[in-house]
Amino acid sequence: MTWQASPRATAVALAGNLAAGVFTVFGLVATSDVLASLFAAGPTPDRVWAALPSLLLVAAATGLRGALLAGAGWAQARLKPLVERLAETRLFELTTRVELAAFDDHDFHNAMRRARDSGVPDTANVVETTIAAVTGAVGVLASAVALGLLHPALIPLSVAGAAVLAIRTGQMSLAALIQTMNRLYEAGLYFGDYLTFCRLARERLPAPPAALSPAAESAPPRLLTAENVTFTYPDADRPALSGVSVTVARGEVIALVGENGSGKTTLAKLLAGLYQPQEGTIRWDGVDLDAFDGDALRRRISVIAQDHTRWPLTVRENIVMGRPLEEDRLAAASAAAGADEVVARLPDGYDALLDRRFRGGHDLSGGQWQRIAVARGFYRDAALVIFDEPTSALDARAEHALFERIRGHADGRAIVLITHRLASVRYADRIYVLDGGTIAEQGTHAELMERDGLYAGLYELQASAYHQRVP
């Protein structure tokens, strides 16, 4: 992984430490010559003058060793963030490619959290301690080599002094090596969590789809159908959906309504291709979703979730979010979501930073953030747009205006609307009422009210609250 992160920095770090070890040996041997000259018989000035060449060699070896270690340290400091970024990138690539249902598996989800919270940060520690271990091992080896070169002549006092210095250098390197190995073992345990999750994630990657023609992948879809789909979450004792069939045509607005836990959001995730049904099929114009490439499928779909992400970025970046910037399209999406009113109140407009932790940042209310999230969904200009409780934080006037815009946005698109506020779905082209993971009723608002079933009961229950007199 370190070589993939930066071959140059890896080579410099390793070569620098190895070369430093060579100069350590050279310096210890040259020290013996210095001591031999100083302990020789004769006048002191002559002995000092005789030791000067060896002393210069020791100084040069020490300086070169220091420079090599400094270069290796620079490479190591540069390598640590690169390796951590590579590990994080691989983690993101794997987590975005596995099926969403994998995260409903507690074991998989916990493995991902350990890899993210401990494994990725400790990749840098593994790099640091590994290089430190190499440095310590080189130091011990250099001292051993120096002792081997000095051993045949240990009787002279000068050589004995150099041997003592080599032994002390080896002891220090050995102590540092032992401490480093302990740190490396600890960091390796966390890094093992990262490697374990990568293995688990690769086992859960979906099979490559069958190749479709570019025309089939890029053609605007006309009809989305789900036939008898059944889906059960991992470790669940009953299906979240059972034998559900729905149809969404281009230009239509359909609504999914029902009580909590009835399967509305699960069905929306199946239609978006985020979940794969265990039984039944979901098709775009007769082509199974499994046949589409994941990126091609995601380009067709936009999801505005209730628990949208509040990115600490500018308004423009929050709306565009990875798509090519088109100012006209940005303005149209903002106007459709009512986010243009939010932008107009900000002193920096679309360049306003939406995070108070940064200087000049701004904080938005829940309703204002919801408008930004809706604008993000509109900006994608997808063939299928799924709104999951898009007005939960909006006031009544803003909610009514947004639903009117959603109806206007349906031109040329398929709209799936999930909401508990049944007054907002009266003008949907078709309403599916879910109960216990099955379709209990379907039809227009008028048809369902005439049927006087589950939908009519829920609608009248909500309507009655506005007519009750407060005692």
Q: Is residue 387's pLDDT more than 80?
A: yes
Q: Residue 432 — pLDDT band, cuts 50, 70, 90? A: very high
Which pLDDT belongs to residue 216?
52
Q: Residue 153 — pLDDT band, cuts 50, 70, 90? A: very low
Angstrom distance (rounded) from CA 209 to CA 183? 44
pLDDT tens for 255-275 read 899 888 888 888 988 888 888
Residue range 68-92: average pLDDT? 79
Which pLDDT belongs to residue 431?
92
Q: 107 forms bridges with which residues in the sheet? A: none
pLDDT tens for 435-464 read 989 999 999 989 999 998 898 888 888 777
Residue range 236-261: average pLDDT? 89
Q: Residue 58 — pLDDT band, cuts 50, 70, 90? A: low
Which pLDDT belongs to residue 155?
44
Long-range contacts made by residues 328-334, C-beta under 8 angstroms, separation at least 24? 329/379, 329/381, 330/379, 332/378, 333/375, 333/376, 333/378, 333/379, 334/375
pLDDT tens for 330-360 read 998 888 888 888 899 988 889 988 888 888 8
The model's pTM is 0.68
Tokens of 302: 């936009």
Residue range 22-37: average pLDDT? 60
Angstrom distance (rounded) from CA 247 to CA 317? 34
Which pLDDT belongs to residue 66?
72
Burial status of residue 346 (CB atoms within 10 A of its CB: 0-12, 13-18, 19 or more): middle
- Percentage of the chain beyond pLDDT 70 is 73
Angstrom distance (rounded) from CA 53 to CA 221? 84
Average pLDDT for the chain: 77
pLDDT tens for 175-225 read 776 777 777 777 778 888 888 888 888 888 877 665 555 555 556 678 889
Q: Is residue 163's pLDDT more than 70?
A: no
